[in-house]
Amino acid sequence: MADMNLSEETSRRLNGWIGPDTWSSSHDLDWNRFYRFVDAFARNEGLHLDEGEVVEEITTRLKENREVNAYFQKEIQQRISVMSRILDFLRETQPEISQAPEADWELEELE
């Protein structure tokens, strides 16, 4: 079982993204929840990502409420690939936050 020891905010944002049945859709609301999770991860956990660990964490949480078939595994992998690219971008363009997980920046809250 995965145990990433995520911050409370990051864990809440992860659950907020994967909680709805539509989490893997291409709907704007689902992408916005995903982006909020990535934002919280970057601020609280840092900009370095262990993709396998995050995939395992997401899979474990999803299995608590639903079956995780090959389609969902592929969707998880694709989203984590996007997450990795976002974090790479932030590392390259905002080196000041690269060193400090508790950096003082946040995506504007979307309603």
The full set of domain ranges for the chain reads 8-19+26-98
Position 107 scores a pLDDT of 54
User: Cα 51 from chain centroid?
Assistant: 10
Q: Which residues of the chain have pLDDT under 50?
A: 1, 100-103, 110-111
Residues 90, 76, 84: CA angle, nearest 5 degrees? 15
Position 63 scores a pLDDT of 94
The CA-to-CA distance between both ends of the chain, in Å, stands at 33
Global model pTM greater than 0.85? no
Q: How far apart are CA 77 and CA 29, in angstroms?
A: 19
Position 108 scores a pLDDT of 52
Position 29 scores a pLDDT of 96
